[in-house]
Structure 1
Amino acid sequence: MARTTTIELHKEDMKFAAGHFTIFSATHRENMHGHNFAVFVSLTGEVLDNGMLADYDIFKRMALEQCRAWNETFMLPAHSRHLQVERDARGDVIARFNGEELRFLARDVTILPVENVSLEELARLFGENLVGDGSLMRDSRISRVVVKCSSEPGQNCSWEWNSHG
């Protein structure tokens, strides 16, 4: 009979500090602010004959790389209906919202393929980046992945992937 287990990864350095604002409508958005986001990853799958699920170090490294990529940046949504993001001649970023023009140095901005920079979208995008096309998870006999992003203690959002579709 197959045994399953869940490995939970929540390391001290699985975090990123980032700025953002949430867009609520064509005329209302939060002021710019930042969070110290924490990331939690759980991997569920079949235990091998050697008593292990998988070499989860690769997944830990992938999560840490994603945290480093997002750390100390200001995040803007690429697909917002209410915010237009463009680059000027120097490559710096201009974000236009409701008659406002916000300017950022290119090196300070991460433009994400999301509608809104929300906890929901960050958890989803982090999870999708970790899982990819699912082949590494399936090859490692991992059947379920849960990613949680937290913007502060007691406030988090979860995203889930299952190998069954």
Structure 2
Amino acid sequence: MYLFIYHLKTHGPRLGAKTRFALFSISECSYKLSHLKERLFLDFNYSIKVYKQYFNFAASHFLIFDDGSREPLHGHNYRVMVKGEAPKLEGDMVFDFLDIKPIVREVCDSLDHKLLLPKENQHLKIHDKGKSFKLTTPDESEFVIPKQDVLVLPISNTSAERLAIYICEEITRITQERFNFRFSAFEVEVEETPGQSAVYAHKETL
């Protein structure tokens, strides 16, 4: 048994799009309609992208490699860009720009002018000395840093990739706590030098 259905030459109802009749079996029709439904509904999203000049932080760090070796202590002027998605609009918006901008800035400011340390790195030993931290690494380097100049993060390394994950988790946590809102997907890009950045994208399991 065969059925006639319309077949669009384009993927959407654009002006001027031509149609033609084609002969398909029932199984072929079922597959094509399922594919069309997926394109029309499952992949449909709204998004906002925010990148402001003040989404930045200056911080020092050193990467620790798998063999225990490390980079010299150095710093970057980091910049941050975020993108949030939602399957539908609330009040004609994905999320209010006036609400998301202070959150991103708050997270960036918390990292600003700090030595960033990875709490979960097996090669870095962080000793609490009261008003300071003493750091030791496998190459027998030792650092003593005042606590107010240090931020110990729940990550395994201070790479741009791991910082992007941390920033993403912080922003989405705050939006959930303050606005009871969850993006269907959220993306953070961390640029450590011009033309050199890492991106982390998180999708919610609905």
TM-score, normalised with respect to structure 2: 0.71
In structure 2, the partner of 1:97 is 137
For structure 2, which runs of at least 5 residues remain unmatched after alignment? 1-39
Are the counterparts in 2 of residues 17 and 71 from structure 1 also a CA contact under 8 Å?
A: yes
- Alpha-carbon displacement from aligned partner over 1:68-127 (angstroms, at most 9, x marks no partner): 110001111111111100111x32011101222111011111111111111111000000
Residue 67 of structure 1, aligned match among 88, 96, 108: 108
Structure 2 Cα separation of the partners of residues 53 and 118 of structure 1: 30
Indicate the residue corresponding to 1:35 in structure 2.
76
Match of 1:79 among 111, 115, 120: 120
Higher mean displacement: 33-42 or 47-56: 47-56
Q: Which runs of 5+ in 1 are unaligned?
A: none
Which structure exhibits the higher relative contact order, with contacts defined as CA atoms closer than 8 Å and separated by 6 or more residues? 1
Per-residue CA shift, 1:32-70, capped at 9, x if unaligned?
Answer: 000001111001114537532221322221110010110
Q: Which moved more, 1:9-18 or 1:90-99?
A: 90-99
Give 2:94's aligned residue: 53
Cα distance change on mapping 1:92 and 1:138 into 2, 3 Å: closer
Equivalent-residue separation in structure 2 for 1:46 and 1:78 (angstroms): 36
Give me the TM-score of the superposition, normalised by structure 1: 0.88
Q: CA 1:138–1:162 in 2, change beyond 3 Å: closer, same or farther?
A: farther
Over aligned residue pairs, what C-alpha RMSD do you find? 2.5
Q: Give the counterpart letter for 2:161 in structure 1.
A: E
Structure number with larger C-alpha Rg: 2
8 Å CA contact 1:46, 1:141 repeated in 2: no
Taking a change above 3 Å as real, the CA distance of residues 133 and 11 of structure 1, as seen in their structure-2 partners, is closer
Report the CA distance between 1:137 and its aligned residue: 10
Which residue pairs with 1:157 in the alignment?
198
